Amino acid sequence: MSQHAASAGEVAGHFFRHEGAKVVATLTAHLGTHRLQLAEDMVQEALLRALQIWSFRGVPDNPAAWLTQVAKNLALNALQREQRWNDKQDGIAAEHQRWLSAPPDPMTHDTFADDTLRMMFVCFHPDLSTDAQTALALRTLCGFSPAEIGAAFLTSQAAIEKRLVRARQRIRELALPFVVPDPQDLSTRLSGVLHTLYLLFNEGYKASTGDLLVREDLCHEAIRLVTLVSQHPATQEPRAFALLALMLLNAARLKSRTDDAGHLLRLHEQDRSTWDQSLIHQGITCLHHAAQGGTISVYHIEASIAATHCLAADSAATDWPRILHLYDQLLTLTHSPVTEMNRAVAVARVHGPQAGLAALDAISQRAVLEISHLYHAMRGTFAAELGHTTAALAHFRHAKTLATLPAERTFITHRIEECLRAGEQ
């Protein structure tokens, strides 16, 4: 493939992942949620055409506008064919064309100008199940694959695909309108929206598929959308500020998470001089705003944990007893096995690696974690710290079989090599 074609392919690939979901939201805004499948199909077709045409003609000056217009044209053609097939009234196609060419509504006190955010609130219609709401939002608006959604839910790709089919069927049955709920009803849907954006950021912070460990573009998109939520009068709630604080504090450390070769660096190995102090300051400010309310959310506590790490002068100065206390608080709000697994690290740092292993053994839903390489890598780390080289090697080798990203497998390979060197001494 020529360099020109390769460049076009890379740009098309970028839009497939990042701009495609936005175009789906824009089309659905005009077509209605009952046409969600049509919008997705037309954007998919537009992306395929981009891959073909750009390879020969070059990338247009405004690829996002090109993609949107082609998807609109394809949707209009599909609607016109449907009109002919169903012998509908002559004015329907013209009306659809008017919708497709209409500019988005300006932002007012009770709506959002951003189509992605508008559609996200639509996805969290109370007549849809919670799991269906989140899966649909991640697939349609965040561009997640079923495999990535499965990783977020700790379930299989097949289960997610079935969930998405049921969600789309339910939308058609209900004929859900593309309208943001009234301001007084926005708060009831805010929890789902915030959780979806939390998962979007997490996928960027530690990708579950692909070649890259860190996907900064996903993190920045999540921050952009949460910022809009926190600025809107109807959703300007402490939990929104708390989530924004958490994202900003974690984003401040993104560039230090890997070395120049893309290898994963543990917290104590990271160069803290590269941490973005501006983002840390913004995160702390948002955390202060979040403290104005009378309730504490999961995001408040996780942001406090992130702040404790960010404010430590070095690894040795980290206030692990405070972090452990915060994890104890977190477990009163959520009984997530992932939270319990992360808490085990704090337990080990305060009480030693044997206590860390005991904390892992005490997790009631441990079977959910045993499909994750992180769980076995953590056991390997604690075993290695105790000098139990054989056990550590067994855990690390099992973790390597479960790891999906190249950076993860390389990281675990280094831990195996460390164990082998320790065993020779």
Q: Compute CA distances 19 → 11, 26, 235, whole Å.
A: 11, 11, 25
Q: For the residues of 398-419, what is the DSSP string, one character each?
A: HHHHH--SHHHHHHHHHHHHHH
Where are any strands of DSSP class E within 217-267? Answer: none
Q: Residue 26's pLDDT is what? A: 76
Q: Which residues are 258's β-sheet partners? A: 264
Q: Residue 13's pLDDT is what? A: 57
Q: Residue 89's pLDDT is what? A: 46
Q: For the residues of 46-79, what is the DSSP string, one character each?
A: HHHHHHHHHHHH---SSHHHHHHHHHHHHHHHHH
The C-alpha atoms of residue 36 and residue 398 are separated, in whole angstroms, by 42
The C-alpha atoms of residue 93 and residue 100 are separated, in whole angstroms, by 10
Q: Compute CA distances 415 → 73, 377, 421, whole Å.
A: 53, 9, 10
Q: Residue 413's pLDDT is what? A: 95
Q: Residue 22's pLDDT is what? A: 73
- Domain ranges in the chain are 25-101, 319-363, 370-425
What are the φ and ψ backbone dihedral angles of 304, each rounded to 5 degrees?
-65, -40
Q: Residue 14's pLDDT is what? A: 58
Mean pLDDT in order along the chain per 10 residues (425 residues): 48 60 74 71 77 72 79 77 53 45 45 74 80 82 80 82 84 69 80 91 84 84 91 91 97 91 88 94 95 89 96 94 97 92 97 97 92 95 95 96 92 93 73
The C-alpha atoms of residue 204 and residue 189 are separated, in whole angstroms, by 23
Q: Residue 98's pLDDT is what? A: 47
3-state secondary structure of 258: strand
In the numeric block, the tokens 């690390």 are attached to 396
Q: Indicate the residue type of 238.
A: P
Q: Up-side HSE of residue 273: CA atoms within 13 Å toward CB?
A: 0
Task: Give the tens place of pLDDT for each residue, 117-157.
Answer: 877 887 788 878 888 888 888 887 777 788 888 887 778 88
